Amino acid sequence: MTAFTDATTAGDPRFSALPVRPGKIVAVHLSYLSRADQRGRRPAAPSYFFKPSSSVAATDGTIERPEGTELLAFEGEIALVIGEPARRVSIEDAWAHVGWVTAANDFGLYDLRANDKGSNVRSKGGDGFTPLGPTLIGARTIDPTALRLRTWVNGVLTQDDTTEGLLFSLSQLVADLSQHFTLESGDVILTGTPAGSSVVVPGDVVEVEVDAPTALGAPASGRLRTTVIQGTNAFDAEVGSLPSVDDTQRSEAWGSREAAGLPPEPEPFVLTPELRAKLEKAPTAGLSSQLRKRGLNNVSIDGPRPLHPDAKVVGTAKTLRFVPNREDLFKQFGGGYNPQKRAFDSVREGEVVVIEARGDASAGTLGDILAIRANAAGAAGIVTDGAVRDLDAVTAVGIPVYSNGSHPAVLGRRHVAWDYDLTIACGGATVQPGDVIVADADGILVIPTQLVEEVVDAALVQEDEDAYVARQVAAGHTIDGLFPMNAQWREQYERETAENSDRA
């Protein structure tokens, strides 16, 4: 393919490695398997953002880390330069529209991501944030599935991956973008970065190179070199939002919590069979007392009563929220595969579906079909501060259900199913996804996961003590000094407990 020139870029060192100043620079959010696994998510399709052509930088140049920021991160990438315009091209034909390949560094300032909402306008659009070059590799001379990308920081190799590790091929990216707009000659596509991206500081030197090691002559872009320097200009709060960082941004910028110097994430809560067995043994009355001792008084879901009074419910909360019915909203969101149906379809074994219905029992919040679905999925129970429809059929399903009564009307009479897996209010209690729900004939409790083990162990100890007290009262002893136990009774209780333990 023949190169072309652009008089508007003549003498401008920023575009010395390119045939023209690009009209568009389109970047891919996440495209390498190694990076996706590092981030803990694999997108089903590519997504993109734009960078201004003013962000292009010359090879062997500098990039400023603005005053008052800390998280400037490099991202070595393969850049595609469009040769022939592409509009609605197929994957098979897409590569014919690529003129050249070169190295790119998609710098980003994580301090500015909070208010960008994925657009990356501020965090990646700054002057000098898109170095390109130094040499173009002709697209006709290489196999796009056999390119290698490497990045060095201060001479140490930090990224080393190939296009075999892409979630989406280079040709797919061209074809996909051409569905939406014309890719014009000189446009640049930044094709994403593999694992290894991290933070750089003033004085660091970052080098990126793209090559085709198996192609004839092993063509290469040469090393794209950028030196980080400290900027002296701070952002103005009167003009726009200021930089801000948190541990999530630090972890993503550095590549891991460990690299960012942060402590490991706490292990996710798991309701183990052993812990579940303890909770099934502990009465809600005892659990409530222990929660109260720890300053938690507003953790009971008040109002709903059980359809199966003898059934004990223990599980983690799967939340569903209804808002008051508004006819236009119900028409738009109430039908089809709405959040109510999606919530019940996504319930997992051992979860308790907890429904916020604002205590309004003048319409059903579930019926027999949804009860059957929850039961088939292995749900531990259902709690709603609204009503149940098809009461006899729901009861017959057998899954423990707590409700504020029954009503023959469908939910559209009073409710619109609005969202699920979010913090809700049910029966006067705040319930978050994953909270532990324990319910019996006395009532329903919400237990924060960080307190579950401590609370249930204390409740079981208290249950043993209360059983001992009950036996002494039944034997004729007075309550005074026994409930609660004074020092004499406490000593006798502990002695008898130890003796019984030795016999066992």
Residue 26 is predicted with a pLDDT of 98
- Domain assignment present for residue 186? The answer is yes
Q: Which of residues 486 and 117 earns the better pLDDT score?
A: 486
In this structure, the answer to whether residues 125 and 208 fall within a common structural domain is yes
Residues 91 and 208 both lie in one domain: yes
CB 190 within 8 A of CB 26: yes
Q: How confident is the model at residue 10 (pLDDT cuts 50, 70, 90)?
A: low
Amino acid making up residue 421: D
Total count of domains within the chain = 2
Q: Return the CATH number at 242.
A: 3.90.850.10
- Provide the 8-state DSSP code for 262: P
For residue 237, what are its two tokens? 């709060």
Single out the residue of 186, 197, 198, 200 nearest to residue 97, CA to CA. 186
Q: Six-digit token pair at 148?
A: 């290698």
Identify the pLDDT of residue 6: 56
pLDDT score, position 501: 75
Question: What string of DSSP letters covers 52-80?
Answer: -GGGEE-TTEEEEE-TT---EE--EEEEE
Binding-site positions for substrate read 367-370, 389
Domain for residue 470, yes or no? no
Annotated binding site: 367-370, 389-390
80 and 185 both lie in a single domain: yes
Express each pLDDT in 198-252 by its tens digit: 999 999 999 999 999 999 999 999 999 999 999 998 898 888 888 999 999 999 9
- Give the number of C-alpha atoms closer than 13 A to the C-alpha of residue 129, restricted to the C-beta side: 25
Per-residue DSSP letter, 390? S
Q: How confident is the model at residue 253 (pLDDT cuts 50, 70, 90)?
A: very high
Examine residue 457 and state whether it is found in any structural domain, yes or no.
Answer: no
Quick check: 4 pLDDT over 80? no
Range of the domain at 363: 297-447
Residues 244 and 326 in one domain: no
Q: Is 321 found in the same domain as 224?
A: no
Starting from the edge strand earliest in sequence, which strands make up the sheet with 25-28, in order?
A: 48-51, 25-28, 188-190, 76-82, 98-105, 130-138, 56-57
Give yes or no for a contact between 151 and 127, defined as CB atoms under 8 angstroms apart. Answer: no
The model's pTM is 0.65
Q: For 396, how many CA atoms within 13 A lie in the half-sphere containing its CB?
A: 8
Res 189 pLDDT > 50 = yes
- Taking residue 484's Cβ as centre, other Cβ atoms within 10 Å add up to 10
Asked if 121 and 246 sit in the same domain, the reply is: yes
Q: Of 202, 230, 254, which closes a domain? A: 254
Q: What is the CATH number of the domain that holds 346?
A: 3.50.30.40
Domain termination residue (choose one: 202, 227, 254): 254
Q: Are strands 130-138 and 98-105 parallel, antiparallel or unpaired?
A: antiparallel
- Calculate helix-pair angle for 273-281, 452-474, nearest 10 degrees: 30
Nearest residue to 49 via CA among 27, 31, 30, 75: 27
**Residue 401 host element (H or E):** strand 401-403
Tell me: do 174 and 316 sit in the same domain.
no
Last residue of some domain: 194, 229, 254? 254
The neighbour count for residue 66, using CB atoms within 10 Å, is: 17
DSSP 449: G
Among 352, 329, 353, CA closest to 341: 353
Measured CA to CA, the distance from residue 400 to residue 31 in angstroms comes to 45
Q: In the structure, what pLDDT confidence band is assigned to residue 1 with cuts at 50, 70 and 90?
A: very low
What pLDDT digit, counting tens, does each position of 31-66 carry? 999 999 988 889 999 999 999 999 999 889 999 999
Q: Are residues 309 and 246 in the same domain?
A: no
Assigned token pair, 263:
């402590």
Report if residue 484 sits inside a domain: no
Classify burial at 471, counting beta carbons within 10 Å of its beta carbon; exposed 0-12, middle 13-18, buried 19 or more: exposed
**8 Å CB contact between 366 and 336:** no
According to DSSP, residue 370 is labeled: H
Contacts 24+ apart (CB under 8 A), 158-164: 158/196, 158/198, 159/76, 159/193, 159/194, 159/195, 159/196, 159/197, 160/194, 160/196, 161/32, 161/34, 161/194, 161/195, 161/196, 163/78
pLDDT tens per residue, range 415-448: 999 999 999 999 999 999 999 999 999 999 999 9
- Together in a domain, 307 and 211: no
pLDDT grade for 9, boundaries at 50, 70 and 90: low
- Mean of pLDDT values over 97-106: 98
Distances (CA, A) of 153 to 158, 202, 207, 355, 364: 7, 12, 6, 52, 62
pLDDT in tens, 147-159: 999 999 999 999 9
In this prediction, residue 504 carries a pLDDT of 59
Closest CA to 112 of 248, 254, 245: 245
Compute the distance between CA of residue 137 and CA of residue 216 in angstroms, rounded to an integer: 12
pLDDT of residue 171: 97
Q: Are residues 67 and 178 in the same domain?
A: yes
In the prediction, which pLDDT does 241 show? 83
In a domain? residue 263 = no
Q: Are 206 and 148 in a shared domain? A: yes
Whether residues 145 and 247 fall in one domain: yes
Stretch 65-91: mean pLDDT, rounded? 97
Give 392 or 10, the one with higher predicted confidence.
392
Annotated binding site for Mg(2+): 390
Is residue 459 included in any domain, yes or no?
no
Residue 274 counted as domain residue: no
The answer to whether residue 478 sits within a structural domain is no
Per-residue pLDDT reduced to its tens digit, 257-285: 999 999 988 888 999 999 999 999 999 99
Q: How many CB atoms lie within 10 A of CB 30?
A: 18
Percent of the chain with pLDDT over 90: 86
Burial of 357 (0-12, 13-18, 19+ CB in 10 A): buried
